[in-house]
């Protein structure tokens, strides 16, 4: 097991409905040392990629993407989930359905921050059905930019998102892939990764 | 002028309605080098405070709070703007009205992440009317924890928030305090700070 899988076993909590709570260290309270370690791991897995921007989606994605952007020495851009009065009209937009929150959002990125010259590393905390990720990918493609790779903290391997993204041919790196969870025993099984 | 004021003069854009757009480097696209420099500055301004947690509010606050939490070597907790199905029922809550988005949110923090033993440094990107900050303060006090200080990137000095917070006796450190803006000329005037 890697450092994130070990931490999930130690502090993750399985809830009914295939909900994995990692809010004590990842997406409500954040262990900055762990985040920095994840940033270095993503930097290693995408080493040599000509990354010019790291793209994530608010809110918890920002904490995962921050150390990645530092390691690559590039700006972090986060997609916003609703149109703010502070955003220009000139936006890339995508419809995203949240598995967790059971709602739909329009995610937006200002056209000033993604261009055809950009090589984008997409980072997010969770991958389940992949809707959020597909929205980010479509925004990058709307910009004519290149998706250099996709880094995810926790992938739910028993849901469809990861297979879809890999079938689309993207380099998808998930630090932990949960194959199964049991909320009655609290057991969490991870996919073996080379 | 300090490094943030200089950056605001260089890349900030004044819009009608006293809107200061800093989204090219602070709250949509983030310049990680600048964020890290802000983190070190906040760490210096609150040096010697026995900080055990850094508290902010999603989304853009996370990028400001991350390097601060690293400098102090403590966890980052971010308040969420709506009740997620992944959050336990056991929450500290506060009603917050957004000046920017012209809406009301209930902000929540899980009771597992703030206790009476905590010494909290509150960090956010903007201070205008102070509603968001008052919500975070009330959440810290609900926990019986101590507010050790409040760090803000950009304060709108011509709005009431900063005066209210300082009158309440808190150490409020704003890296840039905008005294006035003119969207016709693009002029931005900062308050002199010792």
State CA A21 to chain mean position distance.
Answer: 16
Choose among B24, B74, B101: nearest Cβ to A85.
B101
Residue A80 DSSP label: B
Asked whether residue B88 carries a pLDDT value surpassing 90, the answer given is no
Tens-digit pLDDT profile for residues B130-184: 999 999 999 999 999 999 999 999 999 999 999 999 999 999 999 999 999 999 9
Asked whether residue A183 carries a pLDDT value surpassing 70, the answer given is yes
**B133 closest CA partner among B170, B102, B165:** B165
User: Beta B91-98 vs B103-110: how paired, if at all?
Assistant: antiparallel
Buried b (16+ CB within 10 A) or exposed e, B141-172: eebebbbbbbbbbbbbbebebbebbeeeebeb
C-beta neighbour count of B82 within 10 angstroms: 12
Residues of chain A neighbouring B102 (CB-CB closer than 8 A):
85
Residues of chain A neighbouring B73 (CB-CB closer than 8 A):
32
Buried b (16+ CB within 10 A) or exposed e, B51-78: bbbbbbbbbbbbbbbbbbbbbbebbbbb
Pure H helices in B46-130 = 61-72
State percent of chain B over pLDDT 70.
94
What is the structure's pLDDT at B72?
A: 98
What is the structure's pLDDT at B171?
A: 98
Rg of chain A taking only CA atoms, in angstroms: 16
What's the CA gap between A29 and B172, in Å, rounded? 23
If contacts are CB pairs under 8 Å, which of residues 122-181 in chain B contact chain A?
A: none
CB A184 within 8 A of CB A156: no
Asked whether residue A175 carries a pLDDT value surpassing 80, the answer given is yes
Asked whether residue A178 carries a pLDDT value surpassing 60, the answer given is yes
Residues of chain A neighbouring B76 (CB-CB closer than 8 A):
29-30, 32, 63
Contacts for B32-36: CB closer than 8 Å, 24+ residues apart: B32/A66, B32/A69, B32/A70, B32/A73, B32/A74, B32/A75, B32/A76, B34/B3, B34/B4, B34/B7, B35/A66, B35/B63, B35/B64, B35/B66, B35/B67, B36/A70, B36/B67
Length of chain A: 194
What's the CA gap between B170 and B187, in Å, rounded? 30
Query: Across residues A27-31, what is the average pLDDT?
Result: 97
What's the CA gap between B11 and B67, in Å, rounded? 22
Tens-digit pLDDT profile for residues A48-106: 999 999 999 999 999 999 999 999 999 999 999 875 555 556 999 998 776 666 777 78
Query: Across residues B53-71, what is the average pLDDT?
Result: 97
**B3-190 placed in CATH 3.40.50.720:** no
What's the CA gap between B4 and B10, in Å, rounded? 10
Whole-Å CA distances, B119 to B66, B94, B141, B145, B146: 17, 19, 11, 6, 5
Query: Across residues A119-131, what is the average pLDDT?
Result: 96
Choose among B29, B86, B110: nearest Cβ to A19.
B86
- Name the pTM for this structure: 0.95
User: Beta B119-127 vs B146-156: how paired, if at all?
Assistant: parallel
**B166 closest CA partner among B154, B181, B178, B149:** B149
Distance from CA of B70 to the nearest CA of A (A): 6
Mean pLDDT computed over every residue of chain A: 93
What is the structure's pLDDT at B96?
A: 79
CB within 8 A of A47, min separation 6: which ones?
none
Q: Is the ipTM of this complex over 0.90?
A: yes
CA atoms lying within 13 Å on the CB side of residue B108 = 15
Choose among B19, B59, B69: nearest Cβ to A62.
B59
A66 burial type by CB count under 10 A (0-12 exposed, 13-18 middle, 19+ buried) = buried
Domain ranges for chain A, please list them: 3-190
Measured N-to-C along each axis, helices B61-72 and B32-45 cross at an angle, to the nearest 10 degrees, of 50
**A155 closest CA partner among A1, A4, A3:** A4
C-beta neighbour count of A68 within 10 angstroms: 26
SS (H, E, C) B117-135: CCEEEEEEEEECCCHHHHH
What's the CA gap between A79 and A142, in Å, rounded? 14
What is the structure's pLDDT at B86?
A: 53
Verify cis geometry, omega within 30 degrees of 0, for the bond prior to B166: no
Distance from CA of B192 to the nearest CA of A (A): 27
C-beta neighbour count of A1 within 10 angstroms: 11
Asked whether residue A23 carries a pLDDT value surpassing 90, the answer given is yes
Tens-digit pLDDT profile for residues B75-85: 999 999 875 55
Distance from CA of A55 to the nearest CA of B (A): 9
What residues does A189 pair with on adjacent strands?
A180
Contact A59 B36 (CB under 8 A): no
CB B77 within 8 A of CB B113: yes
Instruction: With cut-offs at 50, 70 and 90, classify the pLDDT of residue A34.
Output: very high
């Amino acid at each position: 097991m890697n450092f994130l899988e070990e931490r999930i076993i130690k502090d993750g909590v399985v809830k009914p409905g295939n909900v994995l709570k990692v809010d004590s260290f990842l997406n409500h309270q954040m262990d900055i040392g762990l985040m920095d370690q994840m940033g270095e791991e993503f930097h290693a897995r995408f080493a040599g990629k000509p990354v010019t921007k790291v793209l994530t989606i608010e809110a918890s994605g920002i904490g995962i993407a921050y150390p990645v952007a530092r390691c690559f020495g590039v700006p972090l851009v986060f997609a916003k989930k609703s149109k703010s009065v502070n955003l220009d009209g000139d936006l890339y937009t995508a419809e995203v359905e949240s598995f967790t929150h059971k709602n739909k959002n329009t995610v937006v990125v200002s056209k000033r921050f993604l261009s055809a010259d950009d090589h984008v590393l997409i980072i997010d905390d969770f991958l389940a059905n992949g809707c959020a990720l597909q929205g980010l990918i479509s925004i990058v493609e709307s910009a004519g930019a290149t998706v250099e790779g996709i880094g995810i903290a926790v992938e739910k391997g028993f849901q469809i998102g990861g297979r879809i993204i890999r079938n689309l041919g993207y380099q998808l790196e998930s630090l932990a892939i949960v194959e199964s969870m049991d909320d009655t025993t609290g057991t969490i099984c991870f996919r073996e990764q080379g």
